[in-house]
């Protein structure tokens, strides 16, 4: 019975190199997964700076623990589980310290060599159309921020990141049925929130 038959993990060979202490192999995993990790962290924690720190902490934690990774789930599932947990912890800290400020979709996005603007200036849409688009995006983001963490995380993982119910179930350590019911409630809450701020959709 081979591990390959039970779990199709495209990162398996690189992970084996990492377990032997190959830093270049780990760096390739960082490059491959960092964007998705950042998106998850940002959507759950609701803050760019926090998300950048969460991703850094998650990679550090993964590097320290990779020798204990048994391959029972895909490496990416294990990695994103660390990100989700760190994001939830950070969100809890933020909420207890003070109400965090709404996040703007127009904030610069941290990248390897500095920052880039979230939306480059384009000549195509009119300034008014751009403004309306940004306002809608901000309202969507504000509505995501109003969700309880348990609903926010399933919405982010399923509707924004596109993970399967099985993957989300493994990441959050909850039953698939629970994932589906939380997702249903999260979508309903989003629909109600957006109806209040945008009118009938």
pLDDT at 114: 52
Correct CATH for 1-119 of 1.10.1740.10, 1.10.10.10, 1.10.8.60, 3.30.70.60 = 1.10.1740.10
> What pLDDT does 119 receive?
45
What fold is seen in the domain 121-201? Arc Repressor Mutant, subunit A (1.10.10)
Which residues does the chain have with pLDDT short of 70?
A: 1-7, 97-127, 200-201
Count of other CB atoms within 10 angstroms of residue 21: 10
Domain ranges of the chain: 1-119, 121-201
- Distance from first CA to last CA of the chain, Å, rounded? 52
Phi-psi map region of 173: left, alpha, beta (phi>0 left; psi -120 to 50 alpha): left
pLDDT score recorded for residue 3 = 40
State the greatest distance between any 2 C-alpha atoms of the chain, in Å, as a whole number. 61
């Amino acid at each position: 019975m081979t591990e390959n038959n039970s779990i199709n993990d495209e990162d398996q060979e690189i992970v084996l190199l990492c377990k032997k202490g190959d830093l270049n192999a780990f760096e390739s995993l960082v490059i491959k997964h960092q964007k998705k990790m950042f998106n998850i962290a940002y959507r759950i924690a609701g803050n760019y700076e926090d998300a950048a720190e969460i991703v850094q902490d998650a990679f550090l934690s993964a590097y320290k623990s990779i020798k204990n990774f048994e391959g029972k789930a895909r490496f990416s599932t294990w990695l994103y589980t660390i990100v989700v947990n760190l994001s939830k912890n950070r969100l809890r800290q933020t909420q207890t310290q003070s109400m965090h400020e709404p996040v703007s979709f127009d904030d610069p996005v941290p990248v390897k060599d500095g920052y880039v603007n979230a939306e480059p200036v384009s000549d195509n849409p009119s300034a008014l159309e751009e403004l309306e688009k940004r306002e809608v995006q901000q309202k969507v983001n504000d509505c995501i921020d109003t969700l309880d963490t348990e609903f926010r995380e399933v919405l982010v993982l399923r509707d924004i990141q596109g993970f399967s119910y099985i993957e989300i179930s493994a990441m959050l350590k909850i039953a698939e049925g629970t994932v589906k019911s939380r997702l249903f409630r999260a979508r309903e809450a989003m629909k109600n929130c957006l109806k209040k701020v945008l009118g009938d959709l």
